[in-house]
Amino acid sequence: MNRSADATATPVPTPAPALGALGQPADVALPLLEVRGLSHRYRLPRGVFGRRRPVEIQALEAVSLTLWRGDALCVVGESGSGKSTLARLIMGLLKLEVGEVHYAGSRIDHLEGRQRQRYRRHMQMIFQDPYASLNPRLRIAQTLEEPIRVHFPEASRQQARERVDTLLSDVGLDRGWGERYPHELSGGQRQRVAIARALSVSPELIVADEPLSALDLSVQAQVLNLLVDTQLARRLTYLFISHDLAVVEYLATHVAVLYRGTLCEVGPAAQIFAAPRHPYTRALLAARPRFDEAGAQCVAGSADTSSAMPATRGCVYRHHCPLATPLCAREPPSLEALGDGHAVACHAIDASAVPGDTQAQSRPGS
């Protein structure tokens, strides 16, 4: 990865140690975040657009991921693949019906009230739309002070205000911006405020749901560099949701690929981009815009998945897969390890092939 090694010069508080069972410091040998078998359905009520029966949409299907301290795990996939649903389930913004969420070795998805709040300090979220995520009636300084007062009730007003000034400086804003309202800021400035708010309680984990997609292209690079520098300065761990593969290649240490709520492939970013194994991952990478030697943009490829219908059984990608066999229509593939943390869910990929081999080895169809 070509990531800047420069950290912000302003000193910042180090993140508090993660909480394990009964609030004790967690074992650093354990993953910081682990999700096991997450599934989620959205239920649309009857009567909408003339429907007589309620409709259920499967947003996630048995997704399991592991995130280690200091890593940046980027979850990619087209719109509707379940990326944002995954982020909201992890943060407790959606009720988890199937599966488990573990933070620093402790299960947290069933916690409520003060127990849940204790973990919220360690897990913060940055939303896609910075304007919608900020209270239009509060000045920026008030927005940043609020989480400080919730999680650090012993802090004095002066201490909270000094913390706000430091946060604004950390994200490249002058302290005077604290007296303004969200509508007085540009999109990039609002997203910087959203980042500052997430950092206000010194978390260990940042869940960022498409934090760049609502910004102008020129501003995206500035905010992306801010996120990278902030991670290095504060030793943060990122779960980053994105559909922009250029951003993912720049930021990620690991990549997870979702298609229609199913995990297709997961592994180190360098391996995913150099030697993608799943046919859908290959289609995504082939669809990236390309430039010729003169710098002119070539016509991008197409993942050709927009017309695919949700499969009732078997592999959800089989309708567009060039490697599909009759087995794919009968059984959904399980995630199989290829080595070095790389795993793929595809009947046509030979898990016994040498890890890193750029050519997927097909299994005989059945």
Extended beta strands in the chain, E state: 33-44, 55-67, 72-76, 98-103, 106-107, 123-126, 205-209, 237-241, 254-259, 262-268, 290-291, 297-298, 336-339, 342-344
Chain centroid offset of residue 269 CA: 14
Per-residue model confidence as pLDDT tens digits over 210-260: 999 888 888 899 999 999 999 999 999 999 999 899 999 999 999 999 999
**Share of the chain residues as helix, strand and coil, in percent rounded to the nearest 5:** 30, 20, 45
**Measured distance between the N- and C-terminal CA atoms of the chain, rounded to whole angstroms:** 40
Question: Taking the model in full, what pTM does it have?
Answer: 0.82
Q: Report the mean per-residue pLDDT for the chain.
A: 82
Among 113-117, 309-313, 342-346, 357-361, name the one with the lowest average pLDDT: 357-361
Query: Does 359 score more than 70 pLDDT?
Result: no
Query: Does 156 score more than 80 pLDDT?
Result: yes
Q: What is the pLDDT of residue 349?
A: 81
Among 133-142, 309-318, 336-345, name the one with the lowest average pLDDT: 309-318
Query: Does 61 score more than 50 pLDDT?
Result: yes
Per-residue model confidence as pLDDT tens digits over 260-299: 999 999 999 999 999 999 999 999 999 877 644 544 444 4
> Which pLDDT band, with edges at 50, 70 and 90, does 49 fall under?
low
Residue 191 phi, psi (nearest 5) = -70, -30
**Nearest CA to 108 among 252, 236, 205, 201?**
205
Q: Percent of the chain scored above 70 by pLDDT?
A: 79
Angle between helix 187-199 and 217-234 (nearest 10): 20
Both tokens assigned to 40: 């989620």
**Nearest CA to 205 among 307, 91, 63, 98?**
91
> Which pLDDT band, with edges at 50, 70 and 90, does 145 fall under?
very high
Q: Percent of the chain scored above 90 by pLDDT?
A: 58
Between CA 125 and CA 120 the distance in angstroms is: 9
> Which pLDDT band, with edges at 50, 70 and 90, does 356 fall under?
very low
Per the CB < 8 A criterion, the answer to whether 236 and 15 are in contact is yes
Degrees, nearest 5: CA angle 4-9-14? 95
Per-residue model confidence as pLDDT tens digits over 94-137: 999 899 999 999 999 988 888 888 888 899 999 998 888 899 99
Q: How far is CA 189 from CA 112, 131, 222, 315, in A?
A: 33, 10, 10, 43
> What integer is the mean pLDDT of 329-349?
90
> What integer is the mean pLDDT of 341-365?
61
Per the CB < 8 A criterion, the answer to whether 221 and 244 are in contact is no
Per-residue model confidence as pLDDT tens digits over 1-40: 444 433 333 333 444 444 444 344 556 678 999 999 999 9
Q: What is the pLDDT of residue 249?
A: 93
> What integer is the mean pLDDT of 300-327?
69
Q: Is 5 helix (H, G, I), strand (E, B) or coil?
A: coil
Reported as half-sphere exposure (CB side, CA atoms, 13 A), residue 190 has a value of 23
Q: What is the pLDDT of residue 56?
A: 81
